[in-house]
Chains A and B, each alone.
Chain A
Amino acid sequence: MIDRCFTFIIWLTAGIVFLAFGWLISEVVVQGVGKLSWSFLTDEPARSGREGGIYPIIVSTLLILGTALVIVIPLGLGSAIWLAEFTKKSSKRVQSTRLILDVLAGVPSIVFGLFGYAFFCGFLDLGFSILSGGLTLACMMLPILIRTTEAGLTAVPNDWRRAGAALGVSRTTLLWQVLLPYASPAITAGLLLSIGRATAETAALIFTSGYVDRMPESLNDSGRALAVHIYDLSMNVVGGDKAAYGSALVLIIMVVIINLSANALSEFWLEKKINRLQ
């Protein structure tokens, strides 16, 4: 009897979770799909975004994301490789580095925003610009990318390293030819996770890349990210709800497409490299 109650409760919680999220998603799709059209994606916003499209905003979002990736990929991968392959796991230095990364990963995005505002916009004098926003996002993505890449590399069986050493292959070559390809799905997954977080980010961008919804002409221009656009439409623009839901739908679709395509890519890469190894 108690057992049956427990089963019922578990199914009930799953049902509640499913319904709550079903409500959320269906609301976004139903309200947003009416707004979605080719011209919505290719027009400039009009009347503070109530009408017109979101073309400059999509461009700004991609530019901010691109800037962040250019910085974070070498920095993140390099750090992770160092942690996983070039240090002793138990050394004091590595452990304190880990703690630093854990703390960084937990720093609220608004605090990254404050930091970006003080450091990139103020101290480095980049102003409200796509560059400032991208750099701030890079700081946010860094700890996630390092931890996931490191975990991916640590999961490579040690036999492969020993085999490499026995063949007299340098660690560096071994890394490029064997370890990185093997760990690529995990690395791509980590990259995705951080891209997803960056695409969704609002709080860190308000005071770094700014609000301007014109087409950016260079990286020094202010640009409004899609998430900031949704925030602005729903909070500051009366009657902007429809356009906000339209933009929200575009944002969700973007996140899903990034996830799916990168997944497919990493599987393809893994298959090719492992086949060559065998």
Chain B
Amino acid sequence: MNKSVSQTKDIDWWFGMALSLLMGVAALLLLLIIVFLTNEAWPVLQGGSWAQFFNADGWYPLENKLGLLPMLWATLAVSFGALILALPLGLGSAIFIEYYAPKFIGKPFSSVVTLLAGIPSVVFGLWGLTKLVPLINNIHPPGASLLAAVLVLALMILPTITLTSRSALSSLPSHLLQNSAALALSKKSMIIGVLIPSALRGIIGGVLLALVRAVGETMAVLMVAGNVVQTPTGLFDPVRVLTANIALEMAYATDNHRAALFASGLLLMILVFCVAWIASRLSSGETNGYD
């Protein structure tokens, strides 16, 4: 009896050790990514020369002017523009599925949204390039612009917002609904005054997730944004975002130029790290008091 118990313990110990080794490899990956990016970017980072990313005027790699600022602004403009557009639409769709749609519409609608979450970004890009860009070109040339990028990206992150908001709304305790009904609140007041504030944490989590996706999106934005390096001043300006810059120039970049591209990869990671940190602070905070 004793022997078999100790044998069981042994198996568990060995298995646990093997698993923790696997986890170690997985966790090491992040370190490896940071080390290799920093190593490749080192020529332009050492001795404070990273400051040139922010005070060089413009991005002219051949003349060794490596200003990332215009592309950073473009990245932020495209991402937040898409978020502003996708948030009301995504949240509205989630409310529609949860509280308004009759069953025969709600179910197919939500599976359509789930399906869309899986559509490859190149397909969004292809559609934007061949349909949306010519359309915008009719209104205001050149068509490939900040606006096109915002529209395509908004469509891409919309399913993320809808699905996360919906799961936050559907996991609310049912007594919230019952109490609101007992107070004779109208459906609108119930949703705006009670349900959305209660689910706010989950909704914000979804929004941050969408923001991370928007900042990191490469292909779709590259295909429709026009890729001119400039600080965006209007919706119809062609812009180039940080991710697209890497994809466009990596193939032929050498020396400092190449190192600068790796440095912009690091910059993207820092952006993402900030958002992930805010998200983890939010999710590890106190519970909403209804549990």
Collect the chain B residues with CB atoms within 8 Å of residue A123's CB.
Answer: 36
Task: Name the one of B39, B123, B186, B243 contacting A251, with C-beta atoms under 8 angstroms.
Answer: B123
Closest Cβ neighbor of A244 among chain B residues: B126
Closest Cβ neighbor of A95 among chain B residues: B284
Question: In whole angstroms, what is the CA distance A123 to B99 when docked?
Answer: 54
Q: Are A203 and B101 in contact (CB under 8 A)?
A: no
Contact A110:B223 (CB < 8 A) given known A78-B18, A86-B19, A168-B8: no
Question: In whole angstroms, what is the CA distance A119 to B88 when docked?
Answer: 41
Closest Cβ neighbor of B23 among chain A residues: A79
Q: Are B261 and A114 in contact (CB under 8 A)?
A: yes
Q: In this assembly, does A24 line the interface, its C-beta being within 8 Å of a C-beta of chain B?
A: yes
Closest Cβ neighbor of B39 among chain A residues: A118
Contact A11:B22 (CB < 8 A) given known A20-B155, A203-B218: no
Smallest beta-carbon distance B284→chain A, Å: 8
**Interface-forming stretch among B45-53, B58-66, B109-117, B230-238?**
B109-117
**Interface-forming stretch among A42-50, A212-220, A230-238?**
A230-238
Contact A172:B12 (CB < 8 A) given known A108-B218, A200-B122, A227-B120: yes
Q: Are A245 and B126 in contact (CB under 8 A)?
A: yes
Task: Name the one of B23, B122, B123, B217 contacting A78, with C-beta atoms under 8 angstroms.
Answer: B23
Q: In this assembly, does A269 line the interface, its C-beta being within 8 Å of a C-beta of chain B?
A: no
Smallest beta-carbon distance B215→chain A, Å: 7
Q: In this assembly, does A74 line the interface, its C-beta being within 8 Å of a C-beta of chain B?
A: yes
Total residues of chain B contacting the partner, CB 8 A:
83
A 5-41 to B, binary, CB cutoff 8 A, 1 in contact else 0: 0110111111011101101100110000000000000
Q: In this assembly, does B100 line the interface, its C-beta being within 8 Å of a C-beta of chain A?
A: yes
Task: Name the one of B96, B121, B127 contacting A14, with C-beta atoms under 8 angstroms.
Answer: B96
- Segment 131-148 of B: residues with Cβ below 8 Å from A: 131
Question: In whole angstroms, what is the CA distance A81 to B11 when docked?
Answer: 15
Contact A111:B8 (CB < 8 A) given known A13-B93, A106-B275, A256-B115: no
Task: Name the one of A13, A76, A115, A255 contacting B33, with C-beta atoms under 8 angstroms.
Answer: A115
Smallest beta-carbon distance B238→chain A, Å: 15
Question: In whole angstroms, what is the CA distance A193 to B70 when docked?
Answer: 34
B 198-220 to A, binary, CB cutoff 8 A, 1 in contact else 0: 00000000000000100111110
Task: Name the one of A82, A114, A255 contacting B246, with C-beta atoms under 8 angstroms.
Answer: A114
Collect the chain A residues with CB atoms within 8 Å of residue B275's CB.
Answer: 106
Contact A11:B96 (CB < 8 A) given known A200-B119, A202-B122, A255-B118: yes
Q: Are A82 and B265 in contact (CB under 8 A)?
A: no
B 144-163 to A, binary, CB cutoff 8 A, 1 in contact else 0: 00000000000100100010
Task: Name the one of A3, A78, A200 contacting B19, with C-beta atoms under 8 angstroms.
Answer: A78
Question: In whole angstroms, what is the CA distance A78 to B100 when docked?
Answer: 42
Q: In this assembly, does B175 line the interface, its C-beta being within 8 Å of a C-beta of chain A?
A: no
Q: Are B29 and A142 in contact (CB under 8 A)?
A: yes
Collect the chain A residues with CB atoms within 8 Å of residue B84's CB.
Answer: none
Q: Are B92 and A10 in contact (CB under 8 A)?
A: yes
Contact A118:B218 (CB < 8 A) given known A108-B272, A245-B126: no
Q: Are A207 and B121 in contact (CB under 8 A)?
A: no
Task: Name the one of B123, B191, B247 contacting A110, with C-beta atoms under 8 angstroms.
Answer: B247
Q: Are B188 and A3 in contact (CB under 8 A)?
A: yes
Question: In whole angstroms, what is the CA distance A203 to B124 when docked?
Answer: 14
Question: In whole angstroms, what is the CA distance A3 to B185 when docked?
Answer: 11
Enumerate 19 A-B pairs (CB-CB under 8 Å) in ascending A order.
A9-B92, A13-B88, A13-B89, A14-B97, A20-B155, A23-B131, A27-B131, A79-B23, A103-B272, A108-B215, A111-B265, A112-B33, A113-B247, A114-B37, A146-B26, A202-B121, A206-B251, A244-B126, A259-B118
What residues make up the interface of A, taking CB atoms closer than 8 Å to B? 2-3, 6-7, 9-14, 16-18, 20-21, 23-24, 27-28, 74-76, 78-79, 81-83, 86, 97-115, 117-119, 123, 139, 142, 146, 168-173, 196, 199-203, 206-207, 227, 230-231, 234-235, 241, 244-245, 248, 251-252, 255-256, 259
